[in-house]
């Protein structure tokens, strides 16, 4: 489902914009500071593709930093994988990554799966694909709690795609509506998940993994 902009659509005004390049790839960094809702202060950053066909006007990466009791940073983007593909790739990623964190080796992985609105908690070991007891296609949402940074993923039957984000930035605004399905990670302590997101990212067949990885990591520090 491709979401076209309308004049009535809710937006964030007063966006700071800066055009940047990595090698020959151009993108715009859009940043809004100090959004206040329900007692929470949030800074939002969004990278939007420019020029390149299939990518121009599309949001590439979102990030939010929250200030308050905890200074949290979350990075997220739309992914392109099914449940089976996701957990298969996660198996490979965790197998390689956990070896670098001896304190995590051999410990169960704490998952929350959501099926039909209900959460089911599970302690799993690798490989996930053979240890998850739920039918994979019924999983609507999953979260892994792990001390290198939690991850969350949602699965949709029909993706929500936003292809005209520059129509908003040209008016100095950002559309509030996010793409989906999303994968996100807690980047407050580490950006170890950036390469995994680059692998499952919706544009991973359009942009080199190296550039995507750099873009994702940059949202942890970028200030337009």
Which residues of this chain interact with another protein, rule CB under 8 A? 37-38, 40, 42, 62, 64, 66, 72, 74-76, 112, 114, 116-119, 140-141, 143, 150-152, 154, 160, 176-178, 180, 182, 184-186
Would you say 26 or 180 has its CB closer to another protein? 180
Place of tokens 């053979």: 130
Would you say 42 or 89 has its CB closer to another protein? 42
The reply to whether omega before 181 is within 30° of 0 (cis) is yes
Instruction: List the structure tokens of 94.
Output: 């965790």
| Beta carbon of residue 84, minimum distance to another protein (angstroms, whole number) | 18
CA distance 149 to 85: 21
| Beta carbon of residue 119, minimum distance to another protein (angstroms, whole number) | 7
Q: Considering only CA atoms, which of 193, 213, 198 is closest in space to residue 74? A: 193
Would you say 52 or 141 has its CB closer to another protein? 141
| Beta carbon of residue 82, minimum distance to another protein (angstroms, whole number) | 15
| Beta-carbon contacts of residue 79 (< 8 Å; ≥ 6 apart) | 86, 153, 181, 182, 183, 197, 200, 201, 202
- Paired with 224 in beta bridges are none
| Beta carbon of residue 51, minimum distance to another protein (angstroms, whole number) | 27
| Beta carbon of residue 77, minimum distance to another protein (angstroms, whole number) | 10
| Beta carbon of residue 146, minimum distance to another protein (angstroms, whole number) | 13
Would you say 75 or 128 has its CB closer to another protein? 75
Would you say 160 or 211 has its CB closer to another protein? 160
Contact 215, 194 (CB under 8 A): no
CA distance 52 to 118: 41
CA distance 105 to 42: 35
Would you say 50 or 197 has its CB closer to another protein? 197
Beta strand ranges found along 105-223 (DSSP E): 109-115, 118-124, 141-145, 151-154, 161-162, 174-175, 182-186
């Amino acid at each position: 489902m491709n979401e076209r902009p309308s004049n009535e659509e809710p937006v964030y005004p007063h966006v700071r914009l800066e055009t940047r390049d990595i090698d020959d790839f151009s993108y715009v960094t859009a940043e809004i500071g100090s959004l206040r809702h329900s007692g929470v202060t949030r800074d939002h950053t969004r990278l939007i593709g420019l020029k390149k066909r299939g990518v121009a006007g599309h949001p590439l990466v979102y990030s939010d930093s929250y200030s308050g009791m905890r200074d949290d940073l979350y990075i997220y983007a739309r992914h392109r994988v099914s449940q089976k593909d996701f957990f298969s790739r996660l198996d490979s990623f965790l197998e390689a990554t956990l070896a670098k964190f001896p304190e995590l080796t051999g410990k169960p992985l704490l998952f929350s799966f959501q099926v039909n609105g209900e959460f089911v908690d599970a302690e799993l070991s690798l490989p996930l694909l053979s240890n998850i007891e739920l039918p994979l296609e019924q999983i609507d949402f999953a979260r892994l709690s792990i001390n290198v940074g939690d991850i969350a993923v949602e699965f949709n039957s029909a993706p929500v795609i936003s292809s005209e984000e520059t129509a908003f930035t040209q008016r100095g605004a950002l559309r509030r509506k996010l793409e989906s399905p999303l994968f996100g990670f807690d980047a407050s302590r580490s950006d170890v998940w950036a390469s995994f997101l680059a692998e499952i990212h919706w544009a991973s067949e359009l942009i080199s993994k190296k550039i995507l990885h750099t873009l994702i990591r940059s949202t942890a520090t970028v200030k337009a």
